[in-house]
Amino acid sequence: MEDHKIVQRNLALQREWYGEPLGDRVRRLVVAFNVSQAQLADVLGISAPMLSQVMSGRRAKIGNPAVLARMIMLERKVLTPDVATGAPEALQRALDDVRESKPTVSRDSLPVNGDEAAIFPVLRNVADRAELIQAADMLHEDFPQIAELLRRAGRSR
C-alpha cells in the first residue's frame, strides 16, 4: 500500500478509535500548555519520534494505554480554572502531575456493561437536570440510545 493511502487509512482509524485524528488532539495540547512536541512526548511517556508518527498518521494507534490515559488527563486539566488562566506555574504544575502519574486502565476504572448509573454524577457535573433533558430531546431523532441515557441521568437522584 502506498504511503499516502496508509496515512489516510490510519487517520480514518484514529477518527474511529479516538474521535478525531490524534494530531489534532496533540496540537491542541501543545498550544494549551505552550510546550514543544518533544516536551509533550516526555510528559505522556512516549518517545518524540513515536508521537510524531502518531500525529502524522504514519502510525495508527498509541499502543500503551497509560500514554492515552495521560493524554486524556491533560485534556481534562486544560478545562480546570487554574490551567485555563494560562499562568506558567499552573501549566507546569499540571504537566508535572501528569508526568508523575501512573495511570492504569482496567475494567474497574471505566463504567462497564450497563453500569450506566456510574456516569450519571459525571453528566450532572457538566449540566443540570433540565439541560440533560433538553439535550436528550435534541439528540433523540439521530441518537435515541444516547438521548435515553441523558433522560435517565436527568431523572435520577
User: For the whole model, what pTM was predicted?
Assistant: 0.66
Q: Are 43 and 67 in contact (CB under 8 A)?
A: no
Where along the chain do its domains lie? 1-100, 116-155
Question: What dotted CATH number matches 1-100?
Answer: 1.10.260
Q: Which three cell numbers stand for residue 121?
A: 454524577
pLDDT at 135 over 60: yes
Condensed to tens digits (0 to 9), the pLDDT of residues 50-84 reads 999 999 999 999 988 999 999 999 999 998 888 98
Distance CA 87, CA 70 (A): 21
CA distances from residue 73 to 84, 112, 136 in whole angstroms, order as listed: 14, 20, 27
Condensed to tens digits (0 to 9), the pLDDT of residues 13-52 reads 999 998 899 999 999 999 999 999 999 999 999 999 999 9
